[in-house]
Amino acid sequence: MTTLPEWLSDNRDTTALAAMLSPASSRSLETLAAESRAITQRRFGRTMTLYAPLYLSNYCSSGCAYCGFASDRKTPRHRLEPDEIRRELGAMKKLGISDILLLTGERTAAADFDYLQRSVAIAAEEMQRVSVEAFPMSVNEYRALADSGCTGITIYQETYNRERYETLHRWGPKKDFIARLETPARALEGGIKNVGLGVLLGLSDPVEDVLSLYRHVRHLGRTYWRAGMSVSFPRMRPQTGGYEPPFPVDDHLLARIIFAFRIALPDTELVLSTRESATFRDGMAGLGITRMSIESRTTVGGYYESENEERKKKTGKGQFEISDDRTAKEFCTALRRQNIEPVFKNWELSYNGPSSNLKLAMQPEEGQPCH
Ligand code: SF4
């Protein structure tokens, strides 16, 4: 078995974060919320950047126990062809969306690298920001993807507990814990500008997992100082496989994790998806979260032709159930009610330099934010 990298057990940076996450913490949730809110407003203003996911395909070669797209699920499989992608993009643009996350399962013959690259190129013609949540790739593949218009990738480790990881990932390429752990670094090496990290809360001890997640962010930030980084906190949702999370995370703990991360990583984008309820999302807006998904569909496509039972017979069920199903308009109204401005337009592209992430020649001082 390959040895784990040293940074994964490096506790130099985690003392303050661990103290904030401890049930015995001297700081109440209200105290953390106030501090997190002040930092968020100072660093990000009263804004929320919005994006939407587009599932390109539900083919998958892996067998993750917690996923509705695992290769043993009896669900119809489908992939969007170029004309369908263009139709979906057109429907998304009508909703005001210009920042998109393209998703596929693990690499298969039906949805391989060439398919993904072609899809990115199509999306980049229409959208301002195109990110990808798909299978791990080589440095050269990431370079080609960046050249096709991909600016970001999302790759969750799911859990940093290696034993739990081995059990949950029953077969397929995703079973390789170390290969997945090294994927964000390969993406940055290949010129992808932004990486999104996360753990799927519920799979393993949540506090241990988020401490490892924090070490991962710090490790990457020290090496790739120009990289944009975001962190997500997805909680398990009901899915086709009926997997029950053995470590459920309640609202109180999730809020504490979000506030603690904002305090520990003041400049990092923190993301909350439509997996969470409208009430929880409204509560977290302005308190630490700076990026949210809207109008999510977790079936293949679903924007041009709305999700209905007839369509699901062709494209299969969603990867998981969403919780906040408000329209973009309803969601923006709720944000504005809190004096938070929804941001659909991504200004980053105007001042982004060439698509290369220069490695850090000089390390940041200890205790400093990592990027
Ligand atoms: S989580 Fe991803 S890799 Fe795992 S079964 Fe689902 S789609 Fe496939």
Residue 195 is predicted with a pLDDT of 98
Q: Is 154 in the pocket of ligand 1 (CB under 6 A)?
A: no
Q: Which of 155, 174, 177 to mutate to test the pocket of ligand 1 (most atoms within 8 A of CB)?
A: 174
Q: Which of 79, 106, 157 to mutate to test the pocket of ligand 1 (most atoms within 8 A of CB)?
A: 106
Residue 64 lies in a domain: yes
Residue 174 lies in a domain: yes
Task: Measure 107 CA to ligand 1 centroid, in angstroms.
Answer: 10
Domain containing residue 202? 26-346
Q: Which atom of ligand 1 is nearest to the CA of 71?
A: 5
Residue 311 is predicted with a pLDDT of 61
Mean pLDDT, each 10-residue run in order, the chain (371 residues): 88 91 90 97 96 96 93 93 96 95 96 98 97 97 98 97 96 96 97 97 97 97 93 84 89 96 97 94 96 91 76 67 88 96 71 46 34 28
Residue 240 is predicted with a pLDDT of 67
Residue 93 lies in a domain: yes
Residue 1 is predicted with a pLDDT of 75
Q: Is 56 in the pocket of ligand 1 (CB under 6 A)?
A: no
Task: Measure 12 CA to ligand 1 centroid, in angstroms.
Answer: 33
Residue 10 lies in a domain: no
Residue 7 lies in a domain: no
Integer Cα distance of 124 and 113 in angstroms: 16
Q: Which residues partner with 103 through β-bridges?
A: 55, 133
Task: Measure 224 CA to ligand 1 centroid, in angstroms.
Answer: 27
Residue 363 lies in a domain: no
Q: Which of 55, 57, 67 to mutate to test the pocket of ligand 1 (most atoms within 8 A of CB)?
A: 67
pTM for the model = 0.90
Residue 1 lies in a domain: no
Task: Measure 268 CA to ligand 1 centroid, in angstroms.
Answer: 26
Residue 274 is predicted with a pLDDT of 93
Residue bearing the CA closest to ligand 1, atom 2: 105
Q: How many domains does the chain divide into?
A: 1
Q: Is 200 in the pocket of ligand 1 (CB under 6 A)?
A: no
CATH number of the domain at 48, please: 3.20.20.70
Residue 247 lies in a domain: yes
